[in-house]
Amino acid sequence: MLIFERSEAGRFNSAQRIAGQESQALRLEGIPQAMRRKNSLQLPEVSELQSVRHYTQLSQKNFSIDTHFYPLGSCTMKYNPRGCNTLAMLPGFLGRHPAGSEQLGQGVMASLYDLQEILCEVTGMKATSLSPAAGAQGEFAGVAMIRAYHDARGDETRNEILVPDAAHGTNPASAVMCGYAVKEIPTNSEGDVDLDALRKVVGPQTAGIMLTNPSTLGVFERKIEEIASILHQAGGLLYYDGANLNAILGKTRPGDMGFDVIHINVHKTFSTPHGGGGPGAGPVVANERLAPYLPIPMVGEEKIGGETIYRWLGEEDCPQSIGRLSAWSGNVGVLLRAYIYARMLGTEGMERVANYSVLNANYLMKRLQKAGFTLAIPQRRATHEFIVTLKREAKELGVSAMDFAKRLLDYGHHAPTTYFPLLVPECLLIEPTETEDRETLDAFVEAMVTILGEAENSPDQVKGAPWTLPVRRLDDVRAARELDLNWYQRD
């Protein structure tokens, strides 16, 4: 039932009335008639209990980390510590106006400054800007910085960005937003970038390459140093898509691999909540070469007397910056959560994240392999995630990766990522994360095995899934064909 269907004309949740407005006749003489709203505003008219009950009940229809195992590959759905939420929502943080004087923001600015430093350290880079609101905006910023670098050198022939075929869709999309043509690089059967192919396309037109490492195939790109030198020799730069940073935290650093700029999805590696879609934050971190181009604002530190004073760095401080990405300084509330999380981990904790996320992935991979599932790249060590391909099952049993995914829901597990990366057919990209316990991984294996049995013996059980959720399988085609996006505009 929609909130609109609970609405009744004339109902008003008057606890939320605005003081004084109820009794006062509206005194809007200050606003010309022509400027006033004519068609009266339509919103649901519900009581407070109706709203609370509606949105409480609705929430229960979601799977989430707090309720279910959520091995969504590439998304790093690990536990979002409640402490990070409570502390980031302290009234002192929530109440601060972004235009308020620096005097009145030293608490939050100190935290942001510290976070900048931590991110530099963990990536082996020089400087951080926290302002991108998500990974994709970080990608835009990073590629724009690459462009600014070439432009600053007068190197204006470079109009191409290289992207492996395994890359996330945001990579090519971001490159295009920066005005680049995108050239895809194939991946070899080992899951590494095809170096010969790479050598062939690199040239004076190459602005740079965008890579994830570990790649979205769940393997570590072993030839990364060679790739870096191929690019750098040709005058191109390297962009690191930090979506998979969880796998290598404290183990190896993008800066040491030869990357020039990276973004970090703090809503993955630094465990800020994904909130059913966002917000995230996508800090960009650059080496010496690209640091001058980082987006503003950043937080700077000054020692005055014995005291440390934090201040915003803007255009005057960073004249070569690519500029501003948002009205203020990014998703500060999210960054505070990431900072709190980073402080709780400490240096050792970061390495433990990598250790155990990789342990869980390899354990799960091994068990699924033993149970008869086909791995996309069986000869390689998994990183924090790995790929099962159900090509055989799809062909022989007519049960697709999507069917498996939906049936997993019936068994109380969120489905892994399906059909990504695009180059592996019928694939499930599985990322358990380090915060899941072994019992849970075992239960997932058991569910997968059960479904495989069902696929063999009663495939309709799988193809018709899910059976036990609030709805059965939904008609996506109808959703797109008979567009219904707005209740007030419905026929």
Ligand X SMILES: Cc1ncc(COP(=O)(O)O)c(C=O)c1O
Cα gap 381→358, rounded to integer Å:
9
Q: Is 332 in the site for another protein (CB under 8 A)?
A: yes
Residues 220-239 that bind another protein (CB under 8 A): 220, 222, 224-225
CB 238 within 8 A of CB 208: yes
Residue 218 in the binding site for ligand X (CB under 6 A): no
- Selected from 136, 261, 294, 409, the binder of ligand X by CB under 6 A is 136
Question: To the nearest whole angstrom, how small is the minimum distance from the Cβ of residue 168 to a copy of itself?
Answer: 26
End-to-end CA distance of the chain: 17
Close Cβ partners of 331 (under 8 Å, ≥ 6 residues apart): 133, 279, 280, 281
Q: In sequence order, what DSSP letters do the residues of 392-447 get, joined into one string?
A: HHHHHH---HHHHHHHHHHTTBPPPEES-STTSTTEEEE---TTS-HHHHHHHHHH
Chain-centroid distance of CA 405 in Å reads: 21
Q: Is 282 a residue that touches ligand X (CB under 6 A)?
A: yes
DSSP per position, 260-326: SEEE--TTTTT----TTT------EEE-TTTGGGPPBPEEEEEEETTEEEEEEE-TTT-TT---BSS
Largest CA distance in the chain: 77
Check residue 181 and report its DSSP letter.
E
Phi/psi zone of residue 341: left (φ > 0), alpha (ψ -120 to 50 degrees), beta? alpha
Among another protein, ligand X, a copy of itself, none, what binds residue 241 when CB lies within 5 to 8 Å by partner kind?
ligand X
Residue 33 interacts with a copy of itself (CB under 8 A): yes or no: no
The 245-284 contact track toward another protein, x by CB under 8 A, reads ---x-xxxx--xx-------x-x---x-xxxxxxxxx---
**Count of residues binding another protein (CB under 8 A)?**
217
Distance of CA 439 to the CA centre of its chain: 27
> Would you count residue 265 as binding ligand X (CB under 6 A)?
yes
Residue 14 interacts with another protein (CB under 8 A): yes or no: yes
Q: Report what 273 binds from ligand X, a copy of itself, another protein, none; CB cut-off 5-8 Å by kind.
A: another protein
**Binding test (CB under 6 A) with ligand X, winner from 111, 123, 129, 216:** 216
Instruction: Identify the bridge partners of residue 185 per DSSP, sorted by sequence position.
Output: 164
Strand partners, 313: 298
Q: Which of 111, 123, 187, 212 binds ligand X (CB under 6 A)?
A: 212
Shortest distance, CB of residue 167 to ligand X, whole angstroms?
Answer: 7
Please, what is the minimum distance in Å from the beta carbon of residue 21 to another protein? Answer: 4
Q: With binding defined as CB under 8 A, does residue 81 bind a copy of itself?
A: yes
The separation between CA 407 and the C-alpha centre of its own chain, rounded to angstroms, equals 25
- Residue 233 contacts which entry, a copy of itself, ligand X, another protein, none (Cβ below 5-8 A, type-dependent): none
Q: Which x/- pattern, by CB under 8 A, does the window 41-70 give for a copy of itself?
A: ------xxxx-xx--xx--x----xxxx--
Q: Which of residues 152-191 bind another protein (CB under 8 A)?
A: 168-170, 172-180, 182
* Smaller CB separation from another protein, 120 or 198: 120
Alpha-carbon span 119 to 122, nearest angstrom: 5
- Interface with a copy of itself in residues 317-356 (CB under 8 A): 344
Which chain residues interact with a copy of itself by CB under 8 A? Answer: 6, 8, 15, 47-50, 52-53, 56-57, 60, 65-68, 78-79, 81-83, 90-91, 344, 435-437, 439
Which chain residues interact with ligand X by CB under 6 A? Answer: 74-75, 134-136, 168, 170, 212, 216, 241, 243, 265, 280, 282
